[in-house]
Structure 1
Amino acid sequence: MIRTAAAVLVAVTALSAVTACSDSSDSTSGTGSDGASGKVSGRVTVFAAASLEESFEALGERFEKRYPGTEVGFSFGGSDSLAASITGGAPADVFASASPKTMKIVTDSGGASGEPVTFVRNRLEIATLPGNPDGIASLDDLAEPGLKVVLCDRSVPCGAAARTALDAGGVRLTPVSYEQDVKSALTKVELKEADAALVYRTDVRAAGDKVEGVEFPESSKAVNDYPIALLKDAPNARAAEAFIDLVRSEEGRQVLTRAGFLAP
């Protein structure tokens, strides 16, 4: 009887130890709804289109709170420049582009791990000075003599989208400058160096009362898909996967749609 009781006690103790180890492992695994396996820690570096700046910074803060001990670093800019940096060997974990065309630069070079996934879409608006003093009501109005208009360079997604929209409306204009990313184009209006710019509606919204947005029907012809991808040589692939999962989650979608992005 005594030997039997002792054996049972040993078995219970061993089972408790195994359970405790399992609980400890689960508490540090960082799995959860994001689906990333293993502990999520360290720095994750995200290269992202300039138009994603406000939304991704908000998601970065949420990510760091969800996974204590992590840090999200961002590099925002024109998608073509970011793609060139990645193919040139710049260390990064995630690439979020403003168009499939610029993402293809990375995938064609073998720089992506798996297929990129479209997570949001975006469309253009006309950004004007507050109060719209020039009375801009349509895409045609941008061709008015004396009106200073800024476009993104054709090599970047916002510039390619602007050219598509202008062609769809049969509008011909000569901008006062071509900018390398959408934030630079918008800044020209904010600083009153231009009367209007063709930018993404998300950037108009992010600028608040610094500019006023004017919608136009031709923008439906130039909607950009935004793909995101884990990079092949990601220094921190586990954290990168968790960040991508957050971006694509319902929580991430809510942040992005509040910023004006469209569902894919």
Structure 2
Amino acid sequence: MSVIVTRRRVAAGALTCALLAALTACGDGGPATGSAASAGAEPANLTVLAASSLTDVFRTAGAAYEKAHPGTKVTFSFAGSQELAAQVKQGAPADALVTADTRTMDGLKAETGTAQIVARNRLVIATGKGNPHKIGGLKDLAGTKLKVVLAAPEVPVGRYSKEILDRQGVTVKPVSQEPNVRAVLSKVELGEADAGLVYRTDSAKSGDKVETVEIPDDQNAVASYPAAPLKASKHAAAAAAFVAWLSSPEAQKILQEAGFQQP
């Protein structure tokens, strides 16, 4: 009799464990988030298309993700959001996408899973080291002797730049229009431009190569960064897990230490 009871208890215990495991993996049927989603993903080699302004912070984040998920490799491809969108439309092999604006992501609903905002950013004026032209705000960028560089209007940071300049009634004739924010910053760093509008995080990363002039919040624009898995991914679960992880406390700490704002 005791043998039968013992066997029944063992079977019941095994069934309970199985049920708990299933609940942990599946939850209530809704989308998994953060570390819970990541824990259930199979190791994979992921390719993530990401906006240029995420270059430095995502390299740090990718290393942290790989450390927490042995066997998973994350490779990033950085470019302007409009270039990334073109790559997705053309069927470039990738698993997830992170853009610097919601408009670009919204235009890819047929190619992406559910998007979520993972960070925000603001614009600043980057000037030459020491700010030799004494630029103090947006209105100073209208100076005819000033060489100003902006991102092209189809690039998110270029669109944000036009938005805030138009709102202040400032007309700027840029000496060039660049394909991404890093190219704008590079022009200022190299002395090929006196000033440019870039994201706060990019200017901060440049260190003492440029001077940063803050733009008041009531004159500024907020850049939102949505992330989404790509439907064409061959590693759907792993891609969704990485996107979910970007909202986790660990990832948010990395993003905010780099100067990005909370979603």
With over 3 angstroms needed to count, the CA separation of the structure-2 counterparts of 1:128 and 1:39, relative to structure 1, is: same
Q: Which residue of 2 aligns with 1:83?
A: 85
| 1:170 maps to 2:169 | yes
Q: Which amino acid aligns with 1:103?
A: M
SS at match of 2:149: strand
Q: Secondary structure at the match of 1:95?
A: strand
Offset from partner CA, 1:151-200 (integer Å, 9 cap, x none) = 00000100000000111111111111000000011001111111111000
Code of the aligned partner of 2:149:
V
Alignment of 1:18-29 (within 5 A): none
Distance 1:154 1:46 in 2: 24
The answer for the alignment partner of 2:157 in structure 1 is 158
Q: Which stretches of structure 1, 4 residues or longer, exceed 3 Å deviation after superposition?
A: 4-22, 36-39, 218-221
Give the distance between the partners of 1:32 and 1:105, measured in 2 at CA. 26
Task: Give the distance between the partners of 1:163 and 1:189, measured in 2 at CA.
Answer: 18
Give the structure 1 partner of residue 112 of structure 2: 112
Separation in 2, partners of 1:220, 1:179 = 23
| Gap change, CA 1:218 and 1:170, over 3 Å in 2 | farther
**2:37 aligned partner:** 35
Instruction: Note closer, same or farther for the CA distance 1:163–1:119 as it changes in structure 2 (3 Å cut).
Output: same
What secondary structure sits across from 1:123 in the alignment? Answer: strand
Q: Give aligned pairs, total.
A: 258
Quote the residue 2:57 is aligned against. Answer: 55
Q: Is the 8 A contact 1:46 1:74 kept in 2?
A: yes
Shift of 1:34: 3.4
Residue 77 to residue 70, structure 1, CA distance change in 2 (3 Å): same
Match of 1:128 in 2: 127
Report the TM-score when normalising by structure 1. 0.86
Q: CA RMSD in A?
A: 2.9
User: Where in structure 2 are the equivalents of 1:102-251 lying within 5 Å?
Assistant: 102-107=104-109, 110-114=110-114, 116-217=115-216, 220-251=219-250
Match of 1:252 in 2: 251
Q: Bigger CA drift: 145-154 or 36-45? A: 36-45
User: Which AA in structure 2 matches 1:209?
Assistant: D
Q: So what's the TM-score if we normalise by structure 2?
A: 0.86
Amino acid of the structure 2 residue aligned with 1:42: A
Which amino acid in structure 2 is aligned with residue 74 of structure 1? F
Q: Contact 1:122–1:225 at 8 Å: present in 2 too?
A: yes
Shift of 1:220: 4.3
What is the rounded CA distance, in whole Å, between the counterparts of 2:243 and 2:34 in structure 1? 14
Q: Secondary structure of 1:44's partner?
A: strand
CA distances 1:31-54 after superposition (whole Å, capped 9, x unpaired): 983324634302111111101111
Cα distance in structure 2, aligned partners of 1:18 and 1:32? 27
CA distance in 2: counterparts of 1:21 and 1:35, whole angstroms: 18
Determine the structure 2 residue equivalent to 1:94: 96
- 1:111-170 deviations in Å (ceiling 9; x for gaps): 0123x1112211100011121111111111112222111100000100000000111111
Q: Distance in 2 between matches of 1:179 and 1:193?
A: 13
Q: Which amino acid in structure 1 is aligned with residue 111 of structure 2?
A: G
The answer to whether the Cα contact below 8 Å between 2:93 and 2:233 also exists between their aligned partners in 1 is yes
Gaps of 5+ in 2: 23-32
* Contact 2:38 2:245 (8 Å CA) reproduced: no
Which segment drifts farther, 11-20 or 128-137? 11-20
Partner letter of residue 235 of structure 1?
Answer: K
Q: 1:6 to 1:32 in 2, by over 3 A?
A: farther
1:178 corresponds to which letter in structure 2?
Q
- CA displacement at 1:8 relative to structure 2: 7.8
Identity %: 44
Call closer, same or farther: CA 1:15–1:112 in 2, change over 3 Å.
same
Deviation digits for residues 199-250 of structure 1 (CA, Å, limit 9, x no counterpart): 0001011111211110122674421221111111112122212211221112
Alignment map for 1:68-79 (pairs within 5 Å): 68-79=70-81
1:94–1:240: 8 Å Cα contact kept in structure 2? yes
Alignment partners' CA distance in 2, 1:219 and 1:148: 25
